[in-house]
Amino acid sequence: MSFIQNIKHELQRHSKLTVLLIVNISIFFIINISTGIFQSDFITLNMALPLNLNEFVFKFWTLFTYMFSHKDLGHVFYNMLLLYFSAQTFLSFLSEKKMVYVYIMSGLMGGIILLILSAIFPSTFEYSILFGASAAVLGIVTSLALYIPNLPISLFGIIEMKYKYYALLIFAVSTIIDFNINTGGKISHFGGAFFGLFFGYMLKNGKDISEFTFFNRTKTSTLKVVHSNKNAKAHEQSQSNQQTIDTLLDKISKNGYESLSKSEKELLFKLSQKK
């Protein structure tokens, strides 16, 4: 299946990855139409994160909206391309819910780090704003660097390397090289990458931090006693599935993804979608 066909298939699926891509691209067009045609920066200034705490207090929502906002074509193209390919790999092992969680939390971490630095060095970031999905996307990239570090990746169909080296290369190219250009934005990359590494490390050690969020809390009820047997069986099944996934991931780490049989690949994909 060609690259264009893959994208067409992804759009038809209406997946969470599709939603992320459409939201980012739509906001890019909205921002450029408002600035280019209507000569107004109102939307840009209310979507981008202001690196000034006094201004941020009155635009607190921008800590969330900035990670979906782009102004330059090259910026949105690179981020969406990296998001698409990174998410495809992510979704081969983990669920869509986890992907969205890592995207948002990595973006928040990148923004928070810059806000803290802007408070410590106000003159350095004065009149600066932050927008772009870079920190959020890098979180997805680096999360896999610890979760499946030895997964073989083919770069441009020519160079094959382990995923951990691929993630390091992506981070270096997007962040360390020409660090003096858009320094604030690149500092946010460290925040996004750090959260991704933390998520991957915790997941590798059997702790899914995406389950310990406000939205996943369940209400207590006396009816739980009635369903305790059912819940216990579901928990045992979940543990069994996790053990199977861990065994397959260990095999990948030692011998590469292609060492899996067709049935093992299908089983890994099926179980990862249940997580």
The percentage of residues in the chain with a pLDDT greater than 90, rounded to a whole number, is 51
- Output the pLDDT for position 4: 58
User: 178-198: per-residue pLDDT in tens?
Assistant: 666 677 788 999 999 999 999
Where is average pLDDT lowest: 24-28, 52-56, 222-226, 270-274?
222-226
- Output the pLDDT for position 122: 87
Q: In Å, how far are 9, 114, 162, 261, 270 from 266, measured between CA atoms?
A: 19, 42, 22, 9, 6
- Residues in Cβ contact with 133 at an 8 Å cutoff, skipping those fewer than 6 apart: 24, 67, 68, 70, 79, 80, 83, 103, 107
Question: Among all chains, which residue has been given the structure tokens 């599935």?
Answer: 241
Burial class from Cβ neighbours inside 10 Å (0-12, 13-18, 19+) for residue 27 reads buried
| Local confidence band at 202 (pLDDT 50, 70, 90 cut-offs) | very high
- Output the pLDDT for position 220: 39
List phi, psi (to 5°) of 129. Answer: -130, 160
Q: Which CATH topology does 3-212 take?
A: Rhomboid-like fold (1.20.1540)
Q: CA angle at residue 117 from 24 to 31, to 5 degrees? A: 25
Structure tokens at 187: 């500092």
Domain spans of the chain? 3-212, 218-272
- Output the pLDDT for position 218: 46
Judged against a pLDDT cut of 80, whether residue 266 lies above it is answered with: no
The upper half-sphere exposure of residue 4, i.e. CA atoms within 13 Å in the direction of its Cβ, equals 0
| Local confidence band at 72 (pLDDT 50, 70, 90 cut-offs) | very high
- In this structure, the strands spanning 49-50 and 129-130 are antiparallel
Judged against a pLDDT cut of 50, whether residue 222 lies above it is answered with: no
pTM of the model as a whole: 0.79
**C-alpha dihedral sign at 42, 66, 10, 157:** positive
Contact 166, 140 (CB under 8 A): no
- Cα–Cα distance for residue pair 208/200, rounded to 1 Å: 9
DSSP type of residue 221: -
